[in-house]
Amino acid sequence: MTTTFITPEMLADLSAGAAFLATGGGGDPHLTYLSACEGLKQFGPAKMIGPQDLSDDALVVAIGAVGAPTTSLELLPSVDESITALQAYKDLTGRTVDAVVSFEIGGGNSLIPIVAAAANDIPVIDGDGMGRALPEATMMTYAIAGIHPTPAVALDYAGNTELVEADTAEAYERLVREFSMKRGGMALTAEFQMTGAEMKACIVPETVSLSIQLGKILRSREGSAEQLAARIAQVFDASIYGEFKKLYSGIVADMSTTVIGGYDVGRAVISPLQADGPSLAIDIKNEYLTAHLGEQLLASVPDLICILDYETAQPINAERLRYGQRVSVFAIGCPDHYRTPEALKVVAPRCFGFDFDYTPLEHLP
């Protein structure tokens, strides 16, 4: 059994790694980071175990935030909110909870279950339901594996709770989003309860520890993005992710997004650092979804596309990307969880409005 104790110091690495895995989305994790640090100072380190270390009949529930990251700039998270959400879940559903897990490693949602685990002296599982950031609950590997999201509990900033029941993951997604919009724009949810056995079959494993390793490299400031690439590649090589590729280094030559249907939709064009050559175009819908060199596709969702500052190797999310920045673009093959026919029904390029099918990263030039 591998047990890790997550300390406030490790949260800084975890949130830096989570910013990398957010593939351009996920919002600024700073507030969640501050809140989680306070939580661990209060309750002590959180115990993290690997998915295989939870017994098959134990019950695990996913905890995280749903809503508009912009509103949490004013409506601050509470240090105890994940604890309250977990308690409300137990009270309203009458179920027991033996462990908690994140539903999204990309961005602040990687940190939220950790405080609940520390306070309740139960483990947080090393893994998540996305292996990256994605916009909807229906895209979680838990949903794809057929785990029912409800009964779920939504919690607002004031501690008001609502038991949510829905017949499908799509209906559930709409209900929790409505709840969050009516309650100040942000809500915490406890959802997708699974047995240990079910969790093992669908979780993207070991993404929390991978994120901590990544964050450690990124925060070392020991080189430019290209210089750190070999060390980052080693982390992915030893993981369930696929191939790690450097796609491009260049200068952002154009960047525009507009809001369509509640999402930031747009395109960034990155031109070569020196001399002439084809530009790289990145299509954005909250996250970086596709990369084209001229007409040639280089990578697409569900594989990960990450943009780092060329000099400092710090991840840049889509709302911070701007004209003239020097950047390095990397792609990482997604875990096999997203390459099944069932998964591709919800995460293939066509699900995001693109007119082409998914080709795995390793089959692209």
Partner 1 sequence: MRIGIDVGGTHTDAVVLDGDQVVVAHKALTTADVATGIRNALAFLSDNGADMAAIDAVMIGTTQFTNAVIERRELSPVAAIRLGLPSGRGMVPKLGWPDDISTALGDRDYMIHGGYLYDGQKLSDVDDEEIDRVISDLKSRSVRTAAITSAFSPLNAEPEKYVAQRLRAAIPDMVVTLSHRIGRVGLLERENAALLNTALLAFADRVVRAFEDALLDFGIRCPVFISQNDGTLMAADFVREFPALTFSSGPTNSLRGAARLTGLEEAIVVDIGGTTSDIGVLKGGFPRESNMVVEVGGVRTNFRMPDIQAIGLGGGSLVSDNGKMIGPQSVGHRLVTEALIFGGETLTATDIVVAAGLADVGDASAVSDLPDDLIANGLATIRQILEDGIRSMKPNSDPLPVILVGGGAILAPQELSHASQIHTPEHSGVANAIGAAIAMIGGEAERFVNYTDTPRDAALANVTKAAESLAVAAGADHTSIRTTEIEETPIPYMDKGATRLRVKVVGEVAQLKGNGPET
List interacting residues with partner 1 (CB under 8 A).
30-31, 34-35, 38-39, 42, 67-71, 73-81, 135, 157-159, 177, 181, 184-185, 251, 253-254, 257-259, 261-264, 286, 319-320, 323-326
Residue 64 or 77: the one with the smaller Cβ distance to partner 1 is 77
Residue 51 or 250: the one with the smaller Cβ distance to partner 1 is 250
SS3 178: helix
Q: What distance separates the 2 farthest-apart alpha carbons in the chain?
A: 65
Residue 99 or 133: the one with the smaller Cβ distance to partner 1 is 133
Supply the minimum distance, in Å, between the C-beta of residue 188 and partner 1: 12
CA–CA gap between residue 265 and residue 288 (Å, rounded): 10
CA–CA gap between residue 271 and residue 242 (Å, rounded): 27
How many other C-beta atoms can be found within 10 angstroms of the C-beta atom of residue 222? 11
Supply the minimum distance, in Å, between the C-beta of residue 243 and partner 1: 30
CA–CA gap between residue 86 and residue 109 (Å, rounded): 15
Helices 207-219 & 225-237 angle (0-180, nearest 10): 160
Supply the minimum distance, in Å, between the C-beta of residue 338 and partner 1: 22
Supply the minimum distance, in Å, between the C-beta of residue 214 and partner 1: 22
CA–CA gap between residue 107 and residue 325 (Å, rounded): 22
Cα R_g (the chain), whole angstroms: 19
Residue 146 or 159: the one with the smaller Cβ distance to partner 1 is 159
CA–CA gap between residue 88 and residue 229 (Å, rounded): 43
Supply the minimum distance, in Å, between the C-beta of residue 255 and partner 1: 9
User: Which whole-number Å values give the CA distances from 332 to 20, 62, 223, 295, in the listed order?
Assistant: 11, 25, 20, 20
Residue 191 or 198: the one with the smaller Cβ distance to partner 1 is 191
Percentages helix, strand, coil for the chain (3-state, rounded to 5) are: 35, 30, 35
Residue 73 or 230: the one with the smaller Cβ distance to partner 1 is 73
Supply the minimum distance, in Å, between the C-beta of residue 3 and partner 1: 27
Supply the minimum distance, in Å, between the C-beta of residue 221 and partner 1: 15
Supply the minimum distance, in Å, between the C-beta of residue 22 and partner 1: 13
Residues 6+ apart with CB under 8 A from 39: 79, 80, 82, 114, 115, 118, 119
Residue 39 or 335: the one with the smaller Cβ distance to partner 1 is 39
Residue 63 or 217: the one with the smaller Cβ distance to partner 1 is 63
**Strand bridging mode 124-125 / 46-49:** parallel
CA–CA gap between residue 310 and residue 308 (Å, rounded): 6
How many other C-beta atoms can be found within 10 angstroms of the C-beta atom of residue 148? 18
- Mark out the alpha helices in 44-168 (DSSP H runs): 81-93, 112-120, 141-144
